[in-house]
Amino acid sequence: MQTVFLFPLILVATSALTVAAVLLIAGALRRPGRAQGAPFDGGGDAAFLFEGGALIDCNAAGAALLDSLRTGDGAAGVDEWGRILRYLAPRFPGIDEHLATPPAAQTARMTSADDPQLGLTADWIGSALRLTLGDSRAGGGTLTLDRLSYRAMQDELALLRRITETAPVMVWRESPDGQITWANGAYLRRIAERSGKEVMAWPLPPLFPATDDDDSRRIALPGAGGQSAQAWFDVRHVAMGGDRLGYALPADELQRAERTKQEFIQTLTKTFATLPIGLAVFDRARRLQIFNPALTDLTGLEPEFLLSRPGLEGFLNRMRDKRVLPEPRDWRSWRRRLLDIESSGPSGDFEETWTLPTGQTFRVSANPHPDGALAFLIEDITSETHLTRNVRAEMETSQSVLNQLDTAIAVFAPNGQLVLTNTAFSRLWTLEGEDTLGAVTLPEALENWREAGDDPALWSRIGALSRPGARTAEPVTGVMRLTDGERLNVEARRTSTGALMIAFAQPGAPGVTGHPARQGLRASA
């Protein structure tokens, strides 16, 4: 009978022991590294248990403090250890060094530098670290929790207030009816400068007109203290519940830059309008953006067509219709080369001379820019071309006339270069070893002729005549007797352009035609 009652008692005792063992094991698993008998509740203080920089556990006061530190935390990737260190660092200078080197007693106590009532205790328990943060002015329980959390929030609030008060940007809050319900220091200072009063009554007067959209608008405010200069701001409103937050960023520098840019564009436009060269500027999409009146005068393209911003291909096709484009043999390949101007050459530049059926001559150039734009220039060079052709024809006629003379003639420029000879001179004297007239200078020729003749004084007088500061410009004449006994009449005279002309002729003979070439004129080594 006793055995029957004893068996249930043994079973109940065994079950109780089993549950206790499970609870102990679960507690040990939930809080690894904690020493046996080490209390973790921390009393009313905030307590944290870290291992390897990871938070293992904390009490209710510590959890509340961490929650307050997470509020408004904009740092991405910050863990609990980083948040605690960021909170402790300004209050306990050198906290990193203290926690990095455990003392021999495995316990360290520190007092806040700015609050002697705030203390921190660090206990090293095996591989774990327990931090206990307490305030001696609190009576324990939730009072310590509230004070620490409140202190953290107050510090963050003070920081935010300093940021808004010292910000160089005006910030304010508007009620739905447009009343200013809050403003930062920059806004208040602006009102004080505008009104000349340091004490202001609420509600504050609005500085900027109310807007219904949230887009940024540039608004000018009159200068403070009666100054004529305006202050520019980029104003934007952001909805916040039923109210709106307003931001005004200073935009004086940006406004001046835009005004300078606009004035520069106007100056360029006026300059382009007076240019006699036709100008067409295409953007990177090859759409016409800028043109001047000379372009319409030269090409005959209608302003309405140009104002429609045609593409480069349409621009060329219209010029072809107006007969202001040459007709190449392969129009398609020529147009493709012009459209692909960036790859048309090493420098990417395009320049051609167009001779039109109307008799006009255009010099056309296109210059690509690094940003993708293309400047197209058309210049009428008809007069220049005609002048060049006339000058060339006159020179060819003059040379032909000189070649018909039997007198050998050589002309030296003021700088001493040989610039002109005729056929008779080439028969009489040769240019040894050189293919161009400029290879022989006047001093070299005079030296050669001095050696070939028997009258050095003659060539000295001719050399003196060639100098720019010569006392007289009278022609110098003389007779040159060669080593073979032949005689040549020599005459040197200055031209109106400062050049020196030297003529050789045989006495009493019609010319030197038929005589073999004499000693060659050689340049000095």
pLDDT over threshold 70, residue 142 = no
Which pLDDT score is estimated for 237? 86
pLDDT over threshold 90, residue 141 = no
* Residue 172, H or E segment: strand 170-174
Q: For the chain, give every domain's residue range.
A: 46-161, 167-254, 275-384, 402-505
Which pLDDT score is estimated for 71? 63
Q: 12-21, 126-135, 169-178 — which one is most confidently predicted on average?
A: 126-135
Identify any residues that bridge with 480 across adjacent strands, giving them in sequence order. 488
Which pLDDT score is estimated for 69? 78
Output the six-digit token pair for 363: 């010099």
Contact (Cβ atoms closer than 8 angstroms) between residue 26 and residue 52: no
Which pLDDT score is estimated for 512? 42
Mean pLDDT of 475-502: 89
State how beta strands 54-58 and 288-291 pair. unpaired
Which pLDDT score is estimated for 270? 85
pTM of the model: 0.43
pLDDT over threshold 90, residue 121 = yes
Which pLDDT score is estimated for 500? 92
Fold type of domain 167-254:
Beta-Lactamase (3.30.450)
Identify any residues that bridge with 46 across adjacent strands, giving them in sequence order. 133
CATH numeric code, 275-384? 3.30.450.20
* CB atoms closer than 10 angstroms to residue 6: 10
Which pLDDT score is estimated for 486? 84
pLDDT over threshold 90, residue 122 = yes
pLDDT over threshold 60, residue 65 = yes
Averaged pLDDT of the chain: 78
Mean pLDDT of 175-192: 83
pLDDT band at 214 (very low <50, low <70, confident <90, very high): low
Alpha-carbon torsion (64, 68, 70, 71), positive or negative? positive
CATH numeric code, 402-505? 3.30.450.20
| Residue 500 backbone dihedrals phi, psi, to 5 degrees | -115, 120
Which pLDDT score is estimated for 517? 52
Hey, do 167-254 and 402-505 end up sharing a CATH topology, with the first three levels equal?
A: yes
Q: Over the stretch 40-59, which tens digit does the pLDDT of each residue have? A: 555 578 899 999 889 999 99
